[in-house]
Chains A and B, each alone.
Chain A
């Protein structure tokens, strides 16, 4: 978010970040990482609870962890009304700054520096682009593959469902193992009746943005292993059929290829994050970690013992699983 802050500013969007960290920690963090937007200290998780997103999977006995939220983002308009929320089924999935900006502005932007390729012909122009974080790939960070159709006057493309024999617009994105896509996101359709064929269709016209969010799983990019390669190749297949207000044109296929840069993750400068081949943060959070543990544990000293015991049990379980896997 730090690098993207100028983009937020350019669009007049304010950025706020809330965590349960103490003010001193946030001050050190902001200084070391050059963070220009407000880092807010919700030390007793009051606002996190007010919003109803306290991580209820963490118990009061989980020592320093209690009080964290399920991570997520709210985007509001000028009046303060929520226009989008971003929460995921894994805490590792994060949205790129560009997605938040798009949500705030209610449109899909393709940055000038986003990798892109063109296809189609005079009346149907197709642009494929990879949007978000300069298209770099990291574990869990969502990027967007955007396929933009610029359709000439009176031309339409179809959405599912279509009558038999006709082709709905499809975008397939594929890459190496661990490259994972989410369902295609499409704008609202309009109804069109082709009188000559007696069929009703759901269509898009003019400029149509079809978005396929994607991210890397552990096989491709991991927080606990160095990168296998500096780049990956992905392929985009677009299949569609266009029509005028009277008749269908022939189905068409376009293919695009991109080479995307793999990026290591910035990890906090703490023992258990180090040595995995990732980029260690400049901010040495060891003193902050000590403060955090003390702050949480003094309220519940017995919790620390339970937490340590839980850690030992979990660790033994993990070692047993690793041993079983190695013996197979």
Chain B
């Protein structure tokens, strides 16, 4: 695929306008904000073990990363 530089100045191995290059539109909400409680959830980890966020944290500070994919 053709490589193009986007408006933000970044290169990626996909043409401009490709959905894989879609960034967050200006003003889009970003979920829970500062001062709010991080919503709890349960998801399986890489070994299939269920992880419930706040229980697993066990009172520790935490960084919760949402990323696009480990595949591509």
Binding site for B on A (CB under 8 A): 1, 8, 11-21, 23, 25-27, 29-30, 35, 38-42, 46-48, 50-53, 55-59, 62, 64-65, 68-85, 87-93, 100, 104-105, 139-140, 178, 180, 217-219, 222-225, 268, 270, 272-273, 276, 283, 285, 288-289, 292, 310-311, 314-315, 317-319, 321-322
Q: Output the residue of B45, B64, B70 with the most chain A CB within 10 A.
A: B70
A35 to B47, CA, bound (A): 12
Q: Are B32 and A59 in contact (CB under 8 A)?
A: no
Q: Output the residue of B6, B28, B71 with the most chain A CB within 10 A.
A: B71
Q: Are A57 and B25 in contact (CB under 8 A)?
A: yes
Contact flags (1/0) for B15-32 with A, using CB distance below 8 Å?
111111111111011111
Q: Are B34 and A83 in contact (CB under 8 A)?
A: yes
Contact flags (1/0) for B32-64 with A, using CB distance below 8 Å?
111111111101111110010110110111111
Tell me the minimal C-beta distance from B57 to chain A in angstroms. 5
Q: Output the residue of B10, B40, B61 with the most chain A CB within 10 A.
A: B61
Of A21, A85, A139, which contacts B11 at CB under 8 A? A139
Query: Which chain B residues border A79 with CB–CB below 8 Å?
Result: 37
Q: Are A16 and B46 in contact (CB under 8 A)?
A: no
Given A78-B59, A80-B57, A82-B32, answer yes or no on A18-B43 (Cβ-Cβ < 8 Å): yes
Query: Which chain B residues border A311 with CB–CB below 8 Å?
Result: 1, 18
A38 to B65, CA, bound (A): 11
Q: Are A18 and B66 in contact (CB under 8 A)?
A: yes
The dominant DSSP class at the A interface is mixed
Report the 7 A-B pairs with minimum CB-CB distance, sorted nearest first: A217-B9, A57-B22, A318-B15, A318-B2, A26-B46, A40-B43, A51-B31
Binding site for A on B (CB under 8 A): 1-6, 8-26, 28-41, 43-48, 51, 53-54, 56-57, 59-72
Given A41-B45, A80-B54, A318-B2, answer yes or no on A273-B30 (Cβ-Cβ < 8 Å): no
Tell me the minimal C-beta distance from A52 to chain B in angstroms. 5
A88 to B70, CA, bound (A): 20
Given A76-B64, A88-B24, A91-B21, answer yes or no on A140-B69 (Cβ-Cβ < 8 Å): no
Of B1, B40, B70, which contacts A29 at CB under 8 A? B70
Query: Which chain B residues border A84 with CB–CB below 8 Å?
Result: 34
Query: Which chain A residues border B68 with CB–CB below 8 Å?
Result: 19, 55, 68-69, 71, 91
A263 to B63, CA, bound (A): 25
Query: Which chain A residues border B4 with CB–CB below 8 Å?
Result: 318, 321-322
Of B3, B9, B20, B67, which contacts A224 at CB under 8 A? B3
Sample of 18 A–B contacts (CB below 8 Å)? A21-B70, A27-B46, A51-B32, A74-B63, A75-B63, A78-B60, A82-B36, A85-B31, A89-B24, A91-B24, A92-B8, A218-B5, A218-B10, A272-B1, A288-B70, A292-B71, A315-B15, A318-B2
Query: Which chain A residues border B38 with CB–CB below 8 Å?
Result: 74, 76, 80-82
Q: Are A73 and B66 in contact (CB under 8 A)?
A: yes
Q: Are A21 and B31 in contact (CB under 8 A)?
A: no
Q: Are B72 and A47 in contact (CB under 8 A)?
A: no
Q: Are A53 and B31 in contact (CB under 8 A)?
A: yes
4 further contact pairs, Cβ within 8 A, besides A23-B47, A90-B10, A218-B5: A30-B46, A51-B32, A81-B35, A314-B18
Q: Are B53 and A16 in contact (CB under 8 A)?
A: yes
Nearest-CB residue, chain A, relative to B68: A68
A144 to B39, CA, bound (A): 30
Nearest-CB residue, chain A, relative to B4: A318
Query: Which chain B residues border A46 with CB–CB below 8 Å?
Result: 41
Q: Are A48 and B2 in contact (CB under 8 A)?
A: no
Q: Are A178 and B41 in contact (CB under 8 A)?
A: no
